[in-house]
Amino acid sequence: MALKDVLEKGSLFSPFQSLLVSILSAPLLLVATHNFMQIFTAAVPPHHCQSNLTWDQLSSHKDSCNRYISLLSNATEPCKPGDWKYDLSTYTSTIINKWDLVCEREWLKELAQSIYMAGVLSGAMVYGSLADRFGRRIVILCCLLQTALMGTGAAFAPSFSLYCFFRFMAGMGICGFIINDLGLTMEWTPIRYRATVSVFQSTCLTFGQIILAGVAYAINDWHWLQLALSVPYFFCFILACWVPESIRWLVFAKRSQQALYNLNRVVRINGDKDGSPVTLEMLKLETPNDSSALTSRMTPIDLFRTPAMRKITIFLSMTWFSSSFCFFALAMDVQKFGLSIYLVQVVFGSVELPFRVLSTVLAAYIGRRFAVSGFLILSGILILCSLAVPEDSILMQMSLTVLAKGLLGSSIVCAYLYTPELYPTVLRQTGMGFTNMMMRLGAMVSPLVMMTKTYAPFLPLVIFGTVSIVCGLPILWLPETLNRPLLDTVDEVEARGKNATPKNNDTESVYGTKL
């Protein structure tokens, strides 16, 4: 049995491939629950300052931030800490009534979400480079354990400051897991199944929005909700211990014995008794001159050092930034429709599922770059079209928003597939980390743009639609990766950028396995 047939010979549903995809996809079901959890844990219940007046008397007055001394004179005085009273008929407990994040302290609610997103951004900066240096598997395990511990810690945080710290650390773990989970899965997946596996994992990410709505509806106390969505990561950590390290990374790290063990382990799990075992000779580099390039220590600077790498990084950064920039603006602004936030969350999550099927077909048949670009441009057009919809046409506004959000989500799905295929193995996770950092930056900037509606109500939509269209065009100038093997070195990427055929396209450079 030739080495290149080790993975390509089996189907997507071979025992090893099924186990690998299942184990690495399970934690993805909970990612969206952490990203959007604050919609429910920081829901603002009706509130007023403690006084001698009844709730019915106070509900007819708009000022809920001061204590009413007399209804006849409408005299008020500032509310003192600890004097707030909340209507907990809908939410048993939230961080709002826990730490009185209302009125002059209301901005702390948004600060908590921004701190979480800052943690996600930090995770993209840190864990991408660490995975290229120390391996994908160890980073995934650390991130899963970090998310479990910090998410659980947030549920028992005695102060708002500690709550924000735990959320920051949980955000780091979430992002570090995502980028390395998708990268490791891609490096173990045969060429013909990459699009299918990528979209399946992205569907798991989307399905988390529906899970969040269901769990939040059943659990009205923010402590237990936080705990219920964090503890499962302990079990995911235990399961992920079974996942083997990427053989590509092991060879580049000069750990050929471990790569050999992992490959033969795949053969044993799949029950392949027809071929001979993989040997060390099969793992030797076919071109000795490539050795220094493959084993040299790379840094994030190498993402910009050469022309082709610089072009890939800049254009992908624009794509990731714009997709997230517009997606989170539409996803977090659910209260504007005046409907139940549980219902809107389920609708948003459910409608995105058919778009995942569409993105699978387009990515697998017309190519990755056309899919990414097309989804971005179409979403921008829909956002701009919503400007022409009257304010009282809630159904039409919601339809355009759902469609635009679905297209943006599909763009992100295809970008998760396209990005690791463009970067070489020696910089794959570093590139994933950097582009994801731009994605999180877009999510952080998005709320600031929403504030421009105070100057002109239509301005945010104009900005979102324009950015989506403008950033969707440059991706068409990048190379197509459909049905092409992963590249290993920067030299191969540069050769591809010059329309030259890399030396190792036909027989893979390191071990002949077309992943």
* pLDDT at position 348 over 90: no
- 72-81, 237-246, 444-453: range with lowest mean pLDDT: 72-81
Q: Which residues contact 349 (CB under 8 A, 6 or more apart)?
A: 32, 206, 207, 208, 209, 210, 213
pLDDT tens for 33-66 read 888 788 788 877 777 676 655 555 555 555 567 6
In degrees rounded to 5, what are phi and psi of residue 120?
-60, -45
Give the DSSP H or E segment for 260: helix 256-269
pLDDT tens, residue by residue, 450-474: 777 777 778 888 888 899 999 999 9
Q: Would the pLDDT of 502 be above 50? A: no
Amino acid of residue 368: R
pLDDT value at 127 more than 80: yes
Please name every residue paired with 47 in a beta bridge, in sequence order, or none if there are none. 86
Just give the CATH number of 1-47+91-243.
1.20.1250.20
Q: What is the pLDDT of residues 358-397, one digit of tens each?
A: 877 788 788 888 989 999 999 999 988 888 877 777 777 7
- In 48-135, which ranges are continuous DSSP H helix? 55-59, 95-99, 107-134
Question: In sequence order, what DSSP letters do the residues of 307-355 get, joined into one string?
Answer: HHHHHHHHHHHHHHHHHHHHHHHHHH--GGG-S-HHHHHHHHHHHHHHH
Most confident stretch, 90-94, 291-295, 371-375: 371-375
* Averaged pLDDT, 210-218: 85
Mean pLDDT confidence for 424-437: 83
- For residues 14 and 313, the model is more confident at 313
Q: Please state the length of the chain.
A: 515
Closest C-alpha among 123, 8, 7, 131 to residue 425: 131
Fold: same for 1-47+91-243 and 298-483: yes
Contacts of 484 (CB under 8 A, 6+ apart): 191, 421, 505
Position 90 scores a pLDDT of: 72
Q: Measure Cα distances from 63 to 44, 82, 377, 420 in Å.
A: 15, 18, 44, 53
Q: Cα 170 from chain centroid?
A: 13
Mean pLDDT of 176-197: 82
Please report which helix (H) or strand (E) contains residue 66, including its range.
Answer: strand 66-70
Q: How do 66-70 and 84-86 pair as beta strands? A: unpaired
Mean pLDDT of 82-90: 72
For the ranges 265-279, 314-328, 442-456, the one whose mean pLDDT is highest: 314-328
Residue 158's Cβ-count burial label (10 Å; 0-12, 13-18, 19+) is exposed
pLDDT > 70? residue 205: yes
Answer whether residue 293 shows pLDDT above 50: no
Per the CB < 8 A criterion, the answer to whether 308 and 494 are in contact is: yes
- Averaging pLDDT over each range in 49-58, 87-96, 152-161, 213-222, which range is the top one? 152-161
Which of 49-71 are b and which e, b meaning 16 or more Cβ less than 10 Å from the residue's Cβ?
A: bebebeeeebeeeeebbbbbeee
What mean pLDDT is reported for the chain?
78
Section 417-424 average pLDDT: 87
Q: Give percent above pLDDT 90 in the chain.
A: 16
The residue ranking higher by pLDDT, 13 or 299, is: 299
Residue ranges of the domains in the chain? Answer: 1-47+91-243, 298-483
Return the pLDDT at 501: 43
What's residue 287's pLDDT? 36
Q: Which helix (H) or strand (E) holds 167?
A: helix 160-188
Q: What is the domain class of 298-483 according to CATH?
A: mainly alpha
The answer to whether the CB of 152 falls within 8 A of the CB of 223 is no
Instruction: Provide the token pair at 258.
Output: 């471990």
Name which residue leads in pLDDT, 397 or 81: 397
- For residue 330, the tally of other CB atoms under 10 A from its CB is 23
Report which residue type is found at 252.
Answer: F
pLDDT given at position 361: 79
CA pair distance 230, 154, nearest whole angstrom: 9
Least-confidence region, from 27-41, 295-309, 497-511: 497-511
Q: How confident is the model at residue 87 (pLDDT cuts 50, 70, 90)?
A: confident
